[in-house]
Amino acid sequence: MSFLEFPPLGQEERPYALHEMNGRVAYGSAEEVEVVSKSGLLCDYPKVDKKQLQTLQHSMSRESVRRVFNERESNRFQQAVDVWQRNGTRGLLEFMGNVCEGSRFAWPLTGAVRLLRKAEEEVRGAFMLSEEKICDMIAGVSTNLNWKSNWIRCLAFHDDGHCLAICQPSDHIRIYSVGAVSRTPITLKHIRQKNVAQMAWKPFDAMVLAVACEDAVLVWRLNPKALTSRPPAQCAQVLEVGASFSPVTQCIWDHTLSSAVFIVSPSSSRLLIIDTTTGESESVGGWIGPRIRRIWSSPDHSKLLVSYYSDTIRVYDRSCWEEEKWTGLFGGCVAAVWSPDCSCLLFSNHDRPSIYSIRFANRIEQNADKQHILRSYGADTPIEVFNLSEGSCEEEGEERMRVVGGRVHDMQLSADGKRLAVAFKENPSVIALFIADWLPSVLLTPCSLIEGASYGDAAIISFCPKFTNGSLLSVVWTAGRLQYIPLVYGHSTNTYADSTLFLSMSSDSLSSPREMLFEQRLPQEQGSTRKGNELSMRQVGVDEANEEIQLFSTSTLFDQLLLNCSEGGKQNVTSIA
């Protein structure tokens, strides 16, 4: 399969993806995007954009606030001691120069400050390359397309879906509540909170957030019953990782041991595990060999995929920490997802624009103690599932062609495993959305191409873990917009089929004279045998009277019924006239 099977992009005047209804994505204008964002499906989710985040920046620094409230309560000596403790020798000399301004001691103090500032600049310049190297290492493994320059560095939804954490380029973390009750976002900032690469919410806990920083991991513990807009730094536990694990680019919680955190650094070939309760740490892996790029834990946390800066991946069985290894992966694995039942792994490589799968099967074995244990083994050879090579895609109603696809930057799977979103490196302005089926074999059915248009490129893609109506895809666009795209399918379709919002937009989508229909297999809940893995594409005119209805296709049964009703109404009006 290739991009030839995808439906065309939206029209030039209506390029934005609004929502999906049973495999069919409706496109609209920027005004319609605003209407969808205020609908009942999305009204509980925080509205975040670049301008709104900029207004949250504090107008006064901590130094200004401290000077206003403390200066008159202390004498000059106490002020000098306080400045020296906070800003060091240069700060003390600057303070003394301001105090002695106009006296005979002013010029030597000013000269000393100038000399010290020059020395600091030279020392800082000597270490500037190392700082740039650290940023390059983080950007090379980040799921953010433009980690250095994007207006959001990373985001994290809570597993319960009740809050969203967003990190800005200034390393300020804003926590938004998801729900009917809206409040000012909570701001987290710590002196060690620098070059934040990732955030992870602790499972089964309301407000505990792990933050991967340059040289440490911060664990923020917030009291949900006494939340403030700016929790103090004492709420953060600092987990030291040492120079060999700096910078920290990934941290994930271990669901089997709820107090343990897995820590990854591209400068190390080992995986660091820290118990946040006792502070004890242990590293796993080889002391020599390729460095670790990223890790992915299976939904039940029984398997752990480790990707290296080589053509090798390893999958560890968490029950005994035994590994399986696959080599020759064209530059190494850069993106991966696990199926909901943990029986299948999808991944993509750095140098090959394709999605591959590895199927795992369980086997009962005897361990050294003659006890029967359940082990899982993967297939020997990965199988190519979908070819993502660059291709030209026609815009609906237009003669222009767009280049889409290429090497994968990131892949995200919805919590129910039915939708897969893929972002690309070379052509990041378009996201590929697939319908995923896992049994009896892996099948990725092209659903739609999601374009950012004036919103820019897709920097970050993520699925909200809790969305009762299907799936909710969130996209951070580089131009300063966080867009939520509801993907409604299955039993939830009946609930919103008669919605005025979806009705009007679905009818507008049917106004096109040609529709691309994709015949898909029935979903799992139907219980019938799935037939065929081939995808057939046909051009169907909407004005044909005896048009065949294809269930579970990009043109849904609801769309066809809506069209028939509208045509029937027109015929009745004509007969009456």
Q: Which of 459, 488, 517 is the last residue of a domain?
A: 488
In the chain, the largest separation of any two C-alpha atoms, in whole Å, equals 104
Predicted pLDDT at 495: 65
Average pLDDT for 401-415: 92
512 plus 369 within the same structural domain: no
377 plus 400 within the same structural domain: yes
Does 448 have pLDDT greater than 60? Answer: yes
**How far is CA 505 from each of CA 205, 444, 500, 510, rounded to the nearest angstrom?**
39, 26, 9, 9
Top-confidence residue, 279 or 370: 279
Query: What is 379-422 written as a DSSP string?
Result: -SS-EEEEE---EEEEBTT-S-EEEE--SEEEEEE-TTS-EEEE
- What lies within 8 Å, CB to CB, of 327 at 6+ separation is 311, 312
Q: Which of 447, 467, 488 is the last residue of a domain?
A: 488
How far is CA 343 from its chain centroid? 23
Contact 317, 323 (CB under 8 A): yes
Predicted pLDDT at 415: 94
Q: How many whole angstroms separate alpha carbon 518 and alpha carbon 534?
A: 10
Q: How many whole angstroms separate alpha carbon 17 and alpha carbon 452?
A: 8
Average pLDDT for 85-114: 67
- What lies within 8 Å, CB to CB, of 400 at 6+ separation is 12, 394
503 plus 562 within the same structural domain: yes
256 plus 309 within the same structural domain: yes
Please tell me what DSSP assigns to residue 301: S
Range with the largest mean pLDDT of 111-120, 220-229, 487-496? 220-229
Average pLDDT for 473-490: 94
What pairs with residue 539 in β-bridges?
516
200 plus 323 within the same structural domain: yes
Predicted pLDDT at 262: 96
Q: How many Cβ atoms sit within 10 Å of the Cβ of residue 564?
A: 13
Predicted pLDDT at 335: 97
User: What phi and psi values does residue 533 have, to the nearest 5 degrees?
Assistant: -115, 5
Predicted pLDDT at 61: 45
User: Structure tokens of 193?
Assistant: 């909170």
Q: Is 151 exposed, middle or buried (0-12, 13-18, 19+ CB in 10 A)?
A: buried
User: Structure tokens of 11?
Assistant: 């029209």
Average pLDDT for 287-296: 91
Reading phi first (left if > 0) and then psi (alpha if -120 to 50, else beta), residue 166 is in beta
Lowest average pLDDT, out of 149-153, 345-349, 395-399, goes to 395-399
Q: What is the pTM of this model?
A: 0.78
- Examine residue 440 and say whether the peptide bond preceding it is cis (omega within 30 degrees of 0): yes
When divided into structural domains, the chain yields a total of 3
555 plus 514 within the same structural domain: yes
Domain membership of residue 313 as a residue range: 3-57+135-488
**How far is CA 291 from each of CA 269, 270, 326, rounded to the nearest angstrom?**
4, 7, 16
Average pLDDT for 534-553: 37
103 plus 212 within the same structural domain: no
- How much of the chain exceeds pLDDT 70, in percent? 73
Predicted pLDDT at 74: 54
**How far is CA 144 from each of CA 138, 243, 290, rounded to the nearest angstrom?**
10, 24, 23
What pairs with residue 187 in β-bridges?
174
Reading phi first (left if > 0) and then psi (alpha if -120 to 50, else beta), residue 48 is in beta
Q: How many whole angstroms separate alpha carbon 363 and alpha carbon 361?
A: 7
Lowest average pLDDT, out of 123-132, 417-426, 439-448, 508-517, goes to 508-517
- How much of the chain exceeds pLDDT 90, in percent? 48
Lowest average pLDDT, out of 157-161, 172-176, 507-511, goes to 507-511
Lowest average pLDDT, out of 180-194, 410-424, 475-489, goes to 180-194
234 plus 113 within the same structural domain: no
Q: Which of 488, 504, 527 is the last residue of a domain?
A: 488
300 plus 448 within the same structural domain: yes
321 plus 433 within the same structural domain: yes
Predicted pLDDT at 85: 67
pLDDT digits (tens, 9 = 90+) for 344-364: 999 999 999 999 999 999 888
457 plus 513 within the same structural domain: no
562 plus 416 within the same structural domain: no
CA triple 22-552-415, angle to 5 deg: 50
pLDDT digits (tens, 9 = 90+) for 27-76: 999 999 999 998 888 989 999 999 888 887 654 444 444 544 444 445 66
CA torsion angle 485 486 487 488 (round to 10)? -160
